[in-house]
């Protein structure tokens, strides 16, 4: 497979873990997370934790997180790149977040004091209920009926990446710059002028496909193939769904005896396609 891009796609499993999941590059993950975290939970250092250590049963231990890490002061972080919508995605997020809570249990006398847990989801899709909301970043905590935070040690942070539309000239904050590079990295031929900070220089060096060894190249090609196949399935399903929706509108309009020209304007279908529905 011929690779045309200069930089890897971070929405592939290999690409995401290449940038954020290796010990030499953990400063990239720290900098990214610190753009999302409140001042009192800024990370100085972190340790990668093996996912299979989580959960009391074999089934629980097979739960797969993209990354799971712990800060020096004890906060737990689950970071995942989600490429497609899934049924009960929010339920799954809550379920995953219980593992870093349960693993803090101590034998003997314990006062139940817990370290904070954060689940960060970088989403390549938009929640249906948020489609009309321009906000990219959603922070979710447990609140009471007065909208007051009841428990501030469990936080879900979701980034709906398709909503991010700033150009390079519009980038103002470090957060903007991280979203820009995550979304557009495979489309770039050189580091943008606005992203000259040391952390981004390291990211671009780690992301350069031409510097991969043979094994890394093979792993990336396989990961990229999976990503493209999945994206093609999603795009096809979306297109077919839109076509069926337009056909249903046309059928209803025909039952109301609207002119073919009007139905064509409403649906984008040709008059020939609409007339065929009458047969």
Give domain status of residue 4, yes or no.
no
Give domain status of residue 203, yes or no.
yes
Q: Are strands 117-123 and 137-143 parallel, antiparallel or unpaired?
A: unpaired
pLDDT number for residue 183: 96
Phi, then psi, of 105 in degrees rounded to 5: -60, 140
Helix (H, G, I), strand (E, B) or coil at 140: strand
Handedness of CA 175, 178, 184, 189 (dihedral sign): positive
pLDDT number for residue 1: 44
- In this structure, the answer to whether residues 52 and 145 fall within a common structural domain is yes
Give domain status of residue 147, yes or no.
yes
Give domain status of residue 118, yes or no.
yes
Q: Which residue among 170, 191, 211 closes a domain?
A: 211
pTM check: above 0.85: no
- In this structure, the answer to whether residues 121 and 239 fall within a common structural domain is no
Q: How far is CA 249 from CA 206, 262, 278, in A?
A: 50, 12, 13
Give domain status of residue 5, yes or no.
no
Give domain status of residue 7, yes or no.
no
Q: Which residue among 211, 233, 265 closes a domain?
A: 211
Task: Give residue 245's domain range.
Answer: 212-279
Q: Is 50 exposed, middle or buried (0-12, 13-18, 19+ CB in 10 A)?
A: exposed
Give domain status of residue 197, yes or no.
yes
- In this structure, the answer to whether residues 149 and 178 fall within a common structural domain is yes
Give domain status of residue 161, yes or no.
yes
The series of mean pLDDT values per 10 residues for the chain, 279 residues long, is 79 94 94 95 91 57 73 94 82 91 92 96 91 94 96 96 96 97 96 95 96 96 86 68 81 84 80 83
Handedness of CA 235, 237, 240, 245 (dihedral sign): negative
CA neighbor of 65 nearest in space, from 74, 57, 55: 55
Gap between the Cα atoms of 201 and 195, Å rounded: 8
Contacts of 195 (CB under 8 A, 6+ apart): 171, 177, 180, 181, 204
- In this structure, the answer to whether residues 146 and 277 fall within a common structural domain is no
- In this structure, the answer to whether residues 62 and 145 fall within a common structural domain is yes
> 195: which 2 tokens?
């992203």
Handedness of CA 233, 236, 241, 247 (dihedral sign): negative
Q: Which residue among 211, 236, 265 closes a domain?
A: 211
């Amino acid at each position: 497979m011929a690779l045309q891009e200069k930089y890897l796609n971070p929405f592939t499993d290999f690409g995401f873990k290449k940038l954020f999941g290796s010990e030499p590059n953990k400063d990239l993950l720290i900098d990214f997370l610190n753009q999302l975290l409140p001042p009192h939970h800024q990370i100085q250092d972190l340790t990668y934790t093996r996912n299979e250590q989580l959960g009391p049963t074999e089934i629980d231990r097979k739960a797969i997180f993209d990354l799971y890490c712990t800060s020096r002061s004890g906060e737990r972080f689950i970071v995942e790149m989600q490429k497609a919508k899934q049924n009960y995605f929010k339920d799954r997020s809550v379920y995953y977040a219980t593992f870093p809570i349960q693993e803090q249990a101590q034998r003997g006398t314990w006062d139940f004091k817990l370290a904070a847990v954060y689940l960060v989801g970088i989403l390549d899709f938009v929640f249906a209920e948020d489609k009309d909301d321009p906000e990219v970043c959603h922070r979710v905590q447990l609140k009471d009926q007065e909208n007051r935070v009841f428990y501030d040690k469990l936080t879900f942070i979701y980034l709906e990446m398709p909503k991010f539309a700033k150009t390079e000239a519009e980038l103002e904050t470090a957060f903007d710059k991280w979203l820009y590079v995550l979304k557009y990295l495979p489309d770039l031929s050189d580091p943008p002028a606005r992203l000259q900070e040391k952390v981004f220089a390291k990211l671009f060096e780690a992301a350069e496909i031409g510097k991969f060894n043979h094994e890394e190249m093979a792993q990336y090609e396989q990961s990229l193939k999976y990503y493209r196949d999945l994206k093609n399935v999603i795009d096809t399903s979306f297109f077919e769904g839109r076509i069926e929706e337009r056909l249903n509108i046309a059928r209803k309009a025909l039952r109301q005896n609207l002119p073919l020209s009007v139905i064509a304007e409403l649906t984008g279908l040709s008059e020939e396609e609409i007339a065929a529905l009458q047969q």
